[in-house]
Amino acid sequence: SPALDESAPDTSTLVEQRDRAAADYATLVGRGLKLDLTRGKPSSAQLDLSNDLLALPGAGHAVVDGTDTRNYGGLLGLTGLRELFSAALQVPTAQLLAADNASLAVMHDCLVHAQLSVLPGAQRRWADEPKVKFLCPVPGYDRHFALCERFGIEMIQVPMTEDGPDMDVVERLVAADPAVKGIWCVPKYSNPDGVVYSDETARRLAAMPTAAPDFRIFWDNAYAVHHLTDEEVRIADLLALCAEHGNPDRAFVFGSTSKITFAGSGVSFFGSSEANVAWYLKNTAMRTIGPDKVNQLRHLMFLRDEDGLREHMRRHRELLRPKFDAVDRILTEQLDGTGLASWSKPRGGYFVSLDVPAGCAKEVVRRAAEAGIALTPAGATHPHGQDPEDRTIRIGPTFPDLADVELAMAGLATCVRLVGYERLLGEGAR
Ligand code: PMP
């Protein structure tokens, strides 16, 4: 991580660097840019890859395997689509449900159901617990944290390592406190730092003793097939590991096609143990008579099989890779060796995490906004939107076109230099 330390250059060099950054910044502001690197949305070109969906399933194609997709029912989702995603999500088809368009909604429902209905292995409903706490690896996904806030779940931060959450910390916290009921995990190409959980991290999560009998791992595998390189990175099979270690009900697995097909009209998935799936279905039957199976059918017809899915993701990669390469190239050109920044080099997923010197992230984001470059608010990567060190900035380069990503990154790098050198000189707003 970058730090303002004694090895910093002498004052006259710093003044020169700050002056150059200030001149670059003035030029930047003068250009009147209007760019947005905030949310991790697919670009229009990516959405176009799935345009065939708009004509599917087509008239006369509503019945599949004896199921009329137009009608009520089919709470488990279409079998063919569950089969297709079974390998990618590492959940046996029988334990994998296909649902409506947002995995976030499924996560939300799991929390609601756990509040209101006793989970397998639980002594009581979470609503009847004096306190419910979740472990939140940071930096992490702001909407996970927002769900905790919504349901009054206390968040405990756990630092991330290159192999996933710091498992020494996790093991200590879950063993000591029965109020700790869950942990958020984005195990592959995590949001925002691109971390891939090691097999050993997954094994320890599956095996660790927990004070709560109803502890759950919220395994949000949102980027399971979203590779940016030739390597199809594999992670451990958490469900199988949990069963192997005598904790069969510990894992809730989530996924979706939001960043495979249409972000607003995809299909979500939920996978878990037989007991958890039965619990989930019983509760879900109270809120819906069945998911949108027409949408599931058109997804099945469009993606076809695992090869079809792989080929489709390769097309996404062709569009995404140049943008991620540009982010790394421009940060390297402008900030490498300055001691002002370090950043992730993700092998997949949707984000790059940029670390600036402590106390500078908010100011960098503010300066960028003044220059017309919208960034995710500093702090969004942490519970309650507060990064205690004020150092992490999430970059989402997927939505703008390549030329705009390049402009925005060059502008952002200028802001990092300006704020960084001002701080080194003891200047600038605190
Ligand atoms: N989980 C993670 C880690 C994400 O980054 C996102 C999207 N930014 C989601 C879930 C949302 O998924 P969905 O569209 O299926 O609700």
Residues 141 and 196 occupy one common structural domain: yes
The domain boundary, picked from 303, 322, 353, lies at: 303
Residue 51 placed within a domain = no
At 4, the pLDDT band (50, 70, 90 cuts) reads low
Tell me the residue range of the domain where 82 lies. 65-303
Domain assignment present for 245: yes
CATH of the domain at 110: 3.40.640.10
Q: Token match 């707003």: residue?
A: 429
Ligand 1 close to Cβ of residue 40 (< 6 A) = yes
Distance 98 CA to ligand 1 centre (A): 15
ipTM value greater than 0.95? yes
Q: Are residues 414 and 386 in the same domain?
A: yes
Residue 208 sits in the same domain as residue 137: yes
Q: Given the CA of residue 39, which atom of ligand 1 is nearest to it?
A: 8
Q: 199 and 280: one domain?
A: yes
CATH of residue 335's domain is 3.90.1150.10
Of the two residues 10 and 91, the one the predictor is more confident about is 91
Q: Are residues 32 and 96 in the same domain?
A: no
Phi, psi dihedral angles at 145 (to 5 degrees): -65, -35
Q: Which atom of ligand 1 is nearest to the CA of 104?
A: 16
Whether 210 and 299 share a structural domain: yes
Tell whether 94 is covered by a domain: yes
The residue assigned the tokens 């990154």 is 409
Of 268, 303, 338, the one marking the end of a domain is: 303
Q: How far is the CA of 214 from the centre of ligand 1 (A)?
A: 24
258 CB less than 6 Å from ligand 1?
yes
102 lines ligand 1 (CB under 6 A): yes
Q: Nearest C-alpha to atom 11 of ligand 1 is from which residue?
A: 104
Is the residue at 58 inside a domain? no
User: To which residue do tokens 């989402």 refer?
Assistant: 396
Residue 6 banded pLDDT, cuts 50, 70, 90: low
3 pLDDT tier (thresholds 50, 70, 90)? low
Answer yes or no: do 373 and 241 share one domain. Answer: no
User: Are residues 321 and 296 part of one domain?
Assistant: no
Q: Give the mean pLDDT of the chain.
A: 96
How many separate domains does the chain show?
2
Q: Would residue 151 count as lying in a domain?
A: yes
- Chain-centroid distance of CA 314 in Å reads 20
Give the predicted TM-score (pTM) of the model: 0.96
pLDDT in tens, 153-203: 999 999 999 999 999 999 999 999 999 999 999 999 999 999 999 999 999
Q: How far apart are CA 84 and CA 103, in angstroms?
A: 17
From 39, 89, 97, 104, give the residue whose CB has the most ligand 1 atoms within 8 Å, as the site to mutate.
104
Tell me the DSSP string of 353-382: EEE-STT-HHHHHHHHHHTTEE-PPTTTTS
Atom 6 (ligand 1): residue with closest C-alpha?
222
Q: Could you give the CA distance from residue 21 to residue 74 in angstroms, rounded to a whole number?
A: 60
Note whether residue 412 is domain-resident. yes
Q: Does 55 reside within a domain?
A: no
The residue out of 271, 303, 335 marking a domain boundary is 303
